[in-house]
Structure 1
Amino acid sequence: MRILGLITARGGSKGVPKKNIKLLNGKPLLAYTVEAANRSKLITDLILSTDDDAIIQVAENIGLQVPFKRPEELAVDSASSIDVVSHALQFFESKGIFYDAICLLQPTSPFRKDSFIDEAIEKFINQKTDCLLSVLQVPHEYNPHWTFLENENGTLDIATGEKEIIKRRQDLPVSFFRDGSIYITKTTVIKERHSFYGESISYIESDPQYFCNIDTLKDWEIAEAKVLQLRIK
């Protein structure tokens, strides 16, 4: 299976200015994801999609291919990730290069175990689903069976639509949330549905100690502590 590893990093970060190339323990944030992807034996090609010249320079300095510069309209806050991925596919297909799937890797989730990407790809291939997500378990207090939505009357309904709440924590079904580390999707799903999700979704559980999703300065402080805790070089 031909898989395009796609790292996305736009230049207009507001929560943490220039976060994709900001130094984390002496290394650009982008580099952590690049190094993890380079350890993969199953990614066919690895590229960066960005609109920013400074990010391009850093990427090229660490050996990451940047075959195009992302159009400005795909670098604004309102631009969606699926549009960015579709643009990359269209670029390659215009040159007669085709992939069976995209493996989207976000620099804002910088920490991954050495074998994690290939474990995810292998599971995606073996289960033959439309997509695969990396996930973590939802803490029981946030389980959808214990959360509520406001209805049109201004009162609350159980989020799952049930009439009776599950009383015991032990009886709650396990639920998951996307941790942002890996998205793998068939090219056909991206093109036909304009979505990362198809009719079948497989998953791989991340190691909770590696979880970090950088969006704010507080998140950056957590990442600074975690990189020392995990002894990631």
Structure 2
Amino acid sequence: MTDTPTAVAIIPARGGSKRIPRKNIRAFRGRPMIAWSIEAALASGAFDTVMVSTDDPEIADIARTWGAEVPFLRSAAAANDHATTSQVLLEVLGQYAQTGVHFDLACCLYPTAPFVRPCDLADGRERLLGSRFNVIMPVTGFSYPIWRSLQREEDGRITLNFPENLNARSQDLPVAYHDAGQWYWFRTEAFLRDHVLMGPDTGSIVLPAMQVQDIDTEEDWGLAELKHERMFG
């Protein structure tokens, strides 16, 4: 790796969103959803290149309008409903390699992550470079202890998933975390070897719940806009 590692932001944005049609470019607080991710990446100063991987010409045009590069369109094989994020990243890095371009670091930044701040992306890069990890990703804690979670049968009957915790106090149970669903910084050499983002050499940073929101339904969308306005004004 060079003294100053080269880095690329890869924003995967296919055109076939099912749960919220055209989610990647639908207006979120006055601008296309993907614009928030592009702007954060450009403002972070953490990348030599900010690119969008898409199979959709309209998404490509919007991405370029907001300052991202779209040097090639995604293949059909990497744009179907069953394609994984890793497949998309491998294709992008492979396409760059065919043109003689190689990056030491990369960040998979989702196009539906309007809560991402430039400082978080810059911090993720520094955390990766200063660690033994091959990947750094943001996580947040579950708001309720999963160790007291329930199963519900069709007839409405409930049972504890962890009955041994029936009488445990919530404050005595360990905090459980989940993927914030925003970005993954990774060392490209390790990723090209292992093809995984969440493995034994994955580290994390913790984000507050206010900065995390899944956006998979119309209800999620409305809540995200309310939280975003509260956080960013």
The normalised TM-score by structure 1 is: 0.87
Which residue is 1:229 aligned to?
Answer: 230
In structure 2, the CA distance between the partners of 1:65 and 1:221, relative to structure 1 (3 Å rule), is same
Distance in 1 of aligned mates of 2:115 and 2:91: 26
Native 8 Å contact 2:145 2:175 kept in 1: no
In structure 2, the CA distance between the partners of 1:81 and 1:169, relative to structure 1 (3 Å rule), is same
Native 8 Å contact 1:189 1:198 kept in 2: no
2:83 to 79, 83, 89: 79
Distance in 2 of aligned mates of 1:110 and 1:177: 18
Which residue is 1:217 aligned to?
Answer: 218
Which residue is 1:2 aligned to?
Answer: 6
2:74 to 60, 66, 70: 70
The more displaced of 208-217 and 64-73 is 208-217
Q: Which amino acid aligns with 2:208?
A: D
- 1:12 paired to 2:16: yes
Q: Which amino acid aligns with 1:220?
A: W
2:31 to 22, 27, 40: 27
The more displaced of 105-114 and 12-21 is 105-114
Post-superposition CA distance 1:27-54 (Å, at most 9, x none): 1101000111011122221100000011
Which residue is 2:117 aligned to?
Answer: 113
Distance in 1 of aligned mates of 2:95 and 2:88: 11
Q: Which amino acid aligns with 1:83?
A: Q
Distance in 2 of aligned mates of 1:193 and 1:106: 21
Which residue is 1:203 aligned to?
Answer: 204
In structure 2, the CA distance between the partners of 1:222 and 1:99, relative to structure 1 (3 Å rule), is same
The normalised TM-score by structure 2 is: 0.87
SS in 1 for 2:130: helix
- 1:57 paired to 2:61: yes
Q: Which amino acid aligns with 2:31?
A: K
* Structure 2 unmatched runs, 5+: 152-158
Which residue is 1:101 aligned to?
Answer: 105
Which residue is 1:183 aligned to?
Answer: 184
Q: Which amino acid aligns with 2:65?
A: N
Q: Which amino acid aligns with 1:22?
A: R
Tell me the CA shift for residue 95 of structure 1: 1.4
1:46 to 36, 43, 50: 50
Distance in 2 of aligned mates of 1:134 and 1:66: 26
Distance in 2 of aligned mates of 1:131 and 1:113: 19
Q: Which amino acid aligns with 2:60?
A: I
Tell me the CA shift for residue 158 of structure 1: 5.5
Native 8 Å contact 1:134 1:206 kept in 2: yes
Identical-residue share of aligned pairs (%): 29
* Structure 1 unmatched runs, 5+: 150-155
SS in 1 for 2:139: strand
Tell me the CA shift for residue 68 of structure 1: 0.5
Distance in 2 of aligned mates of 1:224 and 1:131: 29
Native 8 Å contact 2:145 2:173 kept in 1: no
Tell me the CA shift for residue 128 of structure 1: 2.5
Native 8 Å contact 1:133 1:184 kept in 2: yes
